[in-house]
């Protein structure tokens, strides 16, 4: 088997638009992309791809799923073979082995580290907002920097109190293990002492693409020059700094909508631009820009504008990042800032409208940027001018698309007054050198046939599901949809009878408990499978139902989840009864969710009554009076339940004659 870490890396790296784009011509429509379905003949595009959700859905033939499902369906591969296909595409080395006890332990360790990190974020935030010292020191610092409370809360900022091990002792008291405090780098332990890594620092939590807290950056408030200004979490099982960019979670939707990403250097740069109304921004977090970071951004857009500091170090970092971005097939622009300014300080000198206008008017393509920077002072130096031309041509040569390269060469020829033939010749030389330096590609192993079971099982399950008549399909699919989209949201608070404390009830807790009370199960094995898996996982605070089921290894599960999550999924009449279409669904949860569950129960009762009536007729026809009396008693109970449900739904009860 492919080890779980590799599977996760493949799933995180595989960008749905890139995978589908190899086989389908896609055009942007709003936040999604549209094309002609490759699975059936059509003249009007009905094939939708959602980059933010990582799924595709054809509203013509009904096929849908994740990147893995698309390759399975299009290339007729098993789940494991599709993972191998994607691994080759993204040059990911596949480690394959049987799952051992230590693999299970590794997976559990991974989850435990995330849980500890989530606790730490909440602790640091509470220290800053709920303690006098935290308010004065931590919150006071952010206020001095010009950040409003809503910005501070948006990014989950906090403060780790000054002291040797205050945080560590609080975590241990709550039952968290020292082992995971050490692995995440939150606590430093030696033979004879323990201390908090981030004591006395304001805290910037770092989130994964799915919103999980995986690491921290801490800034000291001390004036001691011997203390590092910024301190970051060390590399761990859950945090690889070269693969994550700061701010990707709150920025990804805006990046898709704007079809552009602004790349800055630091945490406060991201926050300042958000506060100015520019949310499609991420930071490399002080590390040199990496290919993995660029590919992460490319999942959402192919347009990047680099906004680094206006000092020599910032300009140098911009230069270094340009070629990396271009090589990944991304259009890159650069926004020069006035000398001595950074995105944080500069954004606070302008209004939101002025800042957006400045960016629009001053961002420039990389050729003009490099020419302006490198040409300064070289007017009378032919050798320096030649080096400049070689540098710019080197950047153009890494662009993978030939048409784009050609256009940039024309621009370079015009700006530098150099013949295009000379530039083309220089590119050929560079490519030849690169080809000679590259090693032969490794031979690909042939895909085995013994691991095709997941695909076969999924297709068999899909076929068996299609042959089942489910009288409750509409209600059960609507139940699944709200669980996938809103299961984690709070529906209401109630007073616990034993503890006397107010307790929050989530959508998932309410729906699943209501179904369990009445022993309600689906006759559809696929729907029941999803409900069972959901029930076993929803209490995990890290459980992302939409992602989990849309990326499920069983293609039938993934397809159904993608179908339910698709934006064009028809709105159920239950939502119409719940309120105006203008309101967001999540605003109607308290009204609609109970109605949905009661509608489902009423439908089940109605079907049961019809079946009981048929059985009563048969019992009467065969003179089986004992059975007839039992059925009559059951029928009367069903009528009472039907009456109660109708009353709860504000419906007129019409008892059957």
Specify whether the CB–CB gap between 246 and 268 falls below 8 A: no
pLDDT at 142: 95
Q: What is the 3-state secondary structure (H, E, C) of 11-78?
A: HHHCCHHHHHHCCCCCEEECCEEEECCCCCCCCCCCEEEECCCCEEEECCCCCEECHHHHHHHHHCCC
Boundary-marking domain end, from 185, 212, 239? 239
Domain boundary residue, one of 570, 599, 632: 570
Let me know whether 373 and 512 are in one domain: no
User: pLDDT for 120-129, tens place per residue?
Assistant: 999 999 999 9
In a domain, 616, yes or no: no
Residues 71 and 112 in one domain: no
Sign of CA dihedral 266, 152, 115, 297: negative
Q: Is residue 95 part of a domain?
A: no
Instruction: Return d(Cα 279, Cα 143) in angstroms, integer.
Output: 20
Order of all β-strands in the sheet with 261-264: 281-283, 261-264, 303-306, 331-334, 364-365
Residue 603 has pLDDT above 70, yes or no: yes
Residues 234 and 281 in one domain: no
C-alpha angle 281-286-287 in degrees, rounded to nearest 5: 105
Question: What's the rounded Cα separation, in Å, for the pair 607 and 564?
Answer: 25
Q: Could you tell me which residues are beta bridge partners of residue 217?
A: 204, 232
For residue 500, is it within any domain? yes
Q: pLDDT digits over 422-462, tens only? A: 788 887 777 777 666 654 444 344 333 334 444 445 545 55
Is residue 82 domain-shared with residue 109, that is, in the same domain?
no
- The reply to whether 341 and 369 lie within a common domain is yes
Same domain, 264 and 362: yes
* Residue 140 and residue 122 share a domain: yes
Around Cβ 575, how many Cβ atoms within 10 Å?
A: 19
C-alpha distances (whole Å) from 180 to each of 125, 186, 188, 531 are 20, 9, 11, 31
Q: Is pLDDT at 197 greater than 90 in this prediction? A: yes
pLDDT category, 657, cuts 50, 70, 90? Answer: very low
Task: Give the pLDDT mean for 402-415.
Answer: 81
Torsion on CA atoms 457, 460, 462, 467, rounded to nearest 10:
-150
**CATH of residue 264:** 3.40.1360.10
Q: Which of 231-235, 366-370, 406-410, 573-577 has the lowest mean pLDDT?
A: 573-577
Radius of gyration of the chain, Cα coordinates, nearest whole angstrom: 30
Distance CA 314, CA 304 (A): 16
**Among the residues of 63-131, which ranges form H helices?**
67-75, 79-89, 101-130
Residue 11 belongs to a domain: yes
pLDDT at 503 (0 to 100): 66
CB atoms within 10 A of CB 76: 10
pLDDT attached to residue 451: 41
pLDDT at 430: 76
User: Range with the lowest mean pLDDT among 432-441, 489-498, 646-655?
Assistant: 432-441
Q: Average pLDDT of the chain? A: 82
CA distance 231 to 37: 49
pLDDT tens, 35-54? 888 888 777 888 999 888 88
Residue 541 lies in a domain: yes
- Position 179 pLDDT exceeds 70: yes
Of 539, 570, 601, the residue at which a domain comes to its end is 570
CA 19 to chain centre: 17
Q: How many domains are there within the chain?
A: 4
Higher per-residue confidence, 629 vs 183: 183
Q: What is the percent of the chain where pLDDT is above 70?
A: 85
Q: Which residue has the higher pLDDT, 105 or 201?
A: 201
Considering the chain, what percentage of its residues have pLDDT values greater than 90? 23
Cα(284)–Cα(245) distance, integer angstroms: 5
Q: How confident is the model at residue 574 (pLDDT cuts 50, 70, 90)?
A: low
Q: What is the pLDDT of residues 349-388, one digit of tens each?
A: 999 899 999 999 988 887 888 777 766 666 667 777 777 7
Tell me, yes or no, whether 412 and 535 share the same domain. Answer: no
Give residue 502's pLDDT: 62
In a domain, 358, yes or no: yes
Predicted local confidence at residue 59, as pLDDT: 85
Same domain flag for 235 and 263: no
Q: Are residues 356 and 260 in the same domain?
A: yes
pLDDT band at 98 (very low <50, low <70, confident <90, very high): low
Structure confidence by residue, pLDDT tens digits, 138-153? 999 999 999 999 999 9
Q: Determine phi and psi for 212, rounding to 5 degrees.
A: -80, 145
Q: Are residues 204 and 339 in the same domain?
A: no
- CATH number of the domain bearing residue 52: 3.90.580.10
Beta-bridged to residue 29, according to DSSP, are 32
Task: For residue 266, count CB atoms less than 10 angstroms from its CB and return exposed for 0-12, middle for 13-18, buried for 19 or more.
Answer: buried
Q: Which residue has the higher pLDDT, 264 or 4?
A: 264
Phi, psi of 524 (to 5 degrees): -85, 115
Lowest-confidence range among 181-185, 197-201, 620-624?
620-624
Instruction: Reply yes or no on whether the pLDDT at 10 is more than 90.
Output: no
- 385 or 72, which is more confident? 72
Note the pLDDT of residue 314: 67
What was the pLDDT predicted at 375? 65
More confident of the two residues 282 and 339: 282
Domain holding 187: CATH number? 3.90.980.10
Closest CA to 159 of 92, 212, 205, 115: 205
396, part of any domain = yes
Under the banding of pLDDT at 50, 70 and 90, the label for residue 585 is: low
Domain check: are 391 and 511 in the same one? no
- pTM, whole model, 2 decimals? 0.57
For residue 96, name the pLDDT band (cuts at 50, 70, 90): low
C-beta atoms surrounding 478 within 10 Å:
21
Separation of alpha carbons 19 and 261, rounded Å: 21
Asked if 167 contacts 123 with a C-beta cutoff of 8 angstroms, the reply is: yes
Alpha helix stretches (DSSP H) within 376-447: 382-397, 402-416, 420-437
Distance CA 335, CA 260 (A): 13
CA dist., res. 78 & res. 448, Å (int): 10
Domain that holds residue 189: 101-239
Report the SS3 class of residue 10: helix
Asked if residue 473 has pLDDT above 80, the reply is: yes
Hey, how many other C-beta atoms are within 10 angstroms of the C-beta on 153? 11
Average pLDDT score over residue span 72-77: 77
């Amino acid at each position: 088997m492919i080890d779980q870490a590799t599977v996760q890396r493949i799933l995180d790296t595989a960008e749905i638009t890139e995978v589908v784009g190899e086989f389908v011509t896609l055009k942007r429509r709003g936040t999604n992309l549209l094309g002609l379905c490759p699975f059936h003949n059509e003249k009007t595009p009905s094939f939708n791809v959602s980059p933010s959700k990582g799924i595709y859905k054809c509203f013509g033939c009904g096929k849908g799923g994740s990147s893995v499902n698309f390759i399975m369906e299009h290339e007729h591969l098993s789940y494991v073979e599709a993972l191998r296909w994607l691994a080759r595409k993204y040059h990911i080395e596949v480690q394959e082995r049987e799952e051992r006890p230590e693999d299970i332990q590794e997976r559990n360790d991974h989850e435990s580290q995330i849980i500890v990190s989530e606790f730490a974020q909440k602790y640091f935030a509470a220290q800053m907002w709920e303690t006098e010292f935290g308010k004065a020191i931590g919150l006071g610092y952010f206020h001095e920097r010009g950040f409003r409370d809503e910005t501070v809360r948006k990014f989950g900022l906090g403060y780790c109190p000054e002291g040797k091990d205050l945080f560590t002792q609080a975590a241990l008291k709550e039952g968290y293990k020292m082992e995971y405090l050490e692995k995440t780098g939150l606590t430093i332990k030696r033979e004879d002492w323990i201390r908090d890594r981030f004591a006395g620092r304001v805290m910037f939590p770092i989130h994964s693409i799915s919103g999980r807290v995986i690491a921290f950056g801490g800034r000291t408030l001390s004036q001691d020059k011997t203390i590092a200004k910024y301190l970051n979490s060390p590399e761990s099982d859950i945090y690889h700094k070269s693969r994550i960019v700061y701010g990707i979670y709150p920025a990804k939707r805006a990046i898709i909508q704007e079809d552009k990403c602004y790349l800055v250097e630091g945490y406060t740069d991201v926050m300042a631009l958000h506060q100015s109304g520019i949310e499609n921004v991420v930071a490399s977090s002080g590390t040199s820009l990496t290919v993995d970071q660029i590919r992460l951004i490319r999942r959402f857009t192919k347009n990047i504008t680099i906004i680094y500091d206006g000092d020599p170090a910032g300009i140098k970092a911009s230069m270094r990042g340009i070629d990396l971005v271009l090589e990944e097939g991304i259009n890159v622009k650069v926004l020069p800032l006035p000398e001595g300014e950074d995105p944080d300080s500069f954004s606070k000198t302008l209004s939101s409208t002025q800042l957006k206008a400045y960016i629009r008017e001053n961002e420039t393509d990389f050729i003009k940027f490099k020419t302006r920077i490198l040409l300064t002072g070289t007017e009378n130096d032919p050798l320096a001018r030649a080096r400049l031309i070689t540098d710019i041509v080197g950047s153009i040569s890494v662009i993978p698309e030939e048409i784009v390269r050609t256009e940039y060469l024309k621009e370079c020829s015009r700006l530098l007054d150099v013949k295009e033939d000379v530039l083309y010749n220089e590119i050929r030389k560079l490519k030849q050198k690169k080809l000679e330096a590259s090693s032969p590609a490794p031979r690909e192993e042939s895909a085995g046939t013994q691991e095709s079971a997941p695909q076969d099982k999924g297709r068999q399950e899909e076929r068996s599901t299609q042959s089942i008549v489910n009288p409750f399909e509409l209600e059960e699919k609507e139940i699944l949809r709200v669980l996938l989209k809103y299961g984690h949201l709070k529906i209401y608070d109630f007073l616990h009878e034993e503890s006397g404390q107010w307790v929050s009830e989530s959508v998932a807790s309410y729906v699943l408990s209501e179904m369990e009370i009445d022993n309600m199960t689906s006759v559809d094995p696929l729907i029941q499978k999803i409900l069972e898996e959901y029930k076993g996982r929803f209490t995990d605070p890290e459980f992302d139902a939409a992602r989990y089921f849309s990326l499920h290894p069983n293609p039938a599960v993934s397809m159904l989840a993608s179908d339910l999550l698709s934006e064009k999924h028809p709105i159920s009449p239950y939502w119409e009864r719940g309120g105006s279409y203008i309101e967001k669904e999540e605003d109607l949860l308290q009204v609609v969710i109970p109605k949905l569950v009661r509608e489902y129960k009423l439908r089940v009762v109605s079907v049961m009554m019809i079946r009981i009536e048929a059985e009563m007729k048969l019992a009467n026809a065969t003179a089986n009076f004992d059975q007839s009396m039992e059925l009559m008693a059951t029928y009367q109970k069903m009528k009472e339940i039907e009456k109660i449900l109708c009353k709860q739904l504000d419906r007129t009860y019409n008892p059957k004659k």
